[in-house]
Every structure is written in structure tokens, then in C-alpha cells.
Amino acid sequence: MTLTDLQRDYLLKRDGADSATRSRYDFKMIQKLKGTLDAVQDARWIVKFLPWQRVKKVVNDAQIFTMLEVVTMLMSRMEYKKVRSIDDKNLIVFGEDEEGRLKIRPPSEIELERAKVLYDHLYELERFIDIRLFERVSIPGYDRPLAYPGGLEDAYEHQLRNELEEKKWEDDT
């Protein structure tokens, strides 16, 4: 799947297009996306079973990092939730109530299944980079974020953990 220059231009200027143009192009773009995602599944078979000497001729870092970016964008848009634990016993997920305020709820079955698969991938990714390395040694040219991009949910988790620790401290005295 390759976008034409006209299709790329449409995507860049989509908000300015009339509704008929948007409808027509959006349909085409969705069909292209579906075809591309189906092709990625086929690519998995090719990479798995063809000799590496043949495959490596068409693969580069930019393609790999673009695929990772697309995956994280899709997970964000599909509203994957981080499964957490504040008390190291119970699993929770942050959701929103009707007014948009954060609330704690147990993870759904699909969120638990997603977490299992993501953990498997996390352990695979750790074959290529030590995720704790940047806490010990700076990598030249890499300005690590001061905090993970979890936003309000991460801040709320830290607040709840602090409150739990304070309560534990009071109970111990």
C-alpha cells in the first residue's frame, strides 16, 4: 500500500475538504489501512519463514520504528488501559465517570488479556534495550522524558500510593 501524492495531500488538508470529498477519500483511506494491516500479518509469515539473507535486503530501521509508532498510535486510539496495582495486591484500571473524573475500577477480561500479550512483547523488547538503563547512564543525544507520558492517571496513581504509604505508616505507629 502506497499513498499517492494526492492522497497524502488530502490527509494533510482533510479538515478543509468538503463533506463529499471527505466521505469519498475517507472510505478509500480506510480500505488502504485495512489492506495494510492485513499485509502486516502476511509480512509476519514472510519474516518468520523466508531466509534472513533475503529478507534483510528490504528492511531498515525507519520501517521498524514506524511500525512501532503505528502500533502505539493504534493502542492509544483504541484506548488501551494500563493495568496497575497501588497496593501490590489488587489490579486496577483508571476509567472516567459520567462527569469525566478519574475513577478506579477492576480491569476487564479484555484488558487483562491485552496486558498479558503486552508483557510478552515487553520481555521480547528487553532483548534489545535495558529499560532501566537511562536511570543509570545517559545515552548521548537522548533526552529522556522526566516522567512517563501517563499524564493525569500516573499522577493520580502516585498520589494514591503516597496516601496508602502514609496510612500504612500511621497504622504501624
Whose cell is 471527505? That residue is 22
Instruction: Quote the number of domains for the chain.
Output: 2
Of the candidates 81, 91, 74, 57, the one whose C-alpha atom is nearest the C-alpha of residue 150 is 81
Does residue 151 sit within a domain?
yes
Note if the pTM is more than 0.85: no
* Domain enclosing residue 36, as ranges: 1-49
> Is 56 within the bounds of a domain?
no
In terms of domains, do 88 and 166 share one? yes
- 96 shares its domain with 155: yes
User: Which of 17-31, 51-65, 139-153 shows the lowest mean pLDDT across its residues?
Assistant: 139-153
Mean pLDDT across 44-52 = 96
Instruction: Assess whether 24 and 106 both reside in one domain.
Output: no
Residue 127 shares a structural domain with residue 173 = yes
Do 104 and 146 have their domain in common? yes
pLDDT for 134 equals 63
In a shared domain, residues 32 and 83: no
- Stretch 160-173: mean pLDDT, rounded? 74
Q: Is residue 114 part of a domain?
A: yes
pLDDT in tens, 95-151: 888 887 888 899 999 999 999 999 999 989 988 988 777 667 777 887 766 655 566
Q: Residue 78: is its pLDDT beyond 70? A: yes
Which position has the higher pLDDT, 30 or 156? 30
CB-based contacts of 25, cutoff 8 Å, min separation 6: 7, 10, 14, 17
The rounded mean pLDDT for the chain is 87
**Does 88 share its domain with 169?**
yes
Whether residues 169 and 118 fall in one domain: yes
Contact yes or no for 1/32 (Cβ under 8 A): yes
Chain position carrying cell 477492576: 106
C-alpha cell at 145: 522524558
Residue 158 has pLDDT above 90, yes or no: no
The pLDDT assigned to 150 comes to 60
Higher-confidence position of 70 and 87: 70
70 touches 76 (CB < 8 A)? no
Side chain identity at 99, as an amino acid letter?
E
> Which phi and psi (to 5°) does residue 26 adopt?
-60, -45
The answer to whether residue 57 is domain-embedded is no
Residue 156 belongs to a domain: yes
Using CA atoms, how far apart are residues 17 and 6, in angstroms rounded to an integer?
A: 13
Does residue 58 belong to any structural domain of this protein? no
So what's the pLDDT on residue 164?
Answer: 78
110 shares a domain with 171: yes
In a domain, 103, yes or no: yes
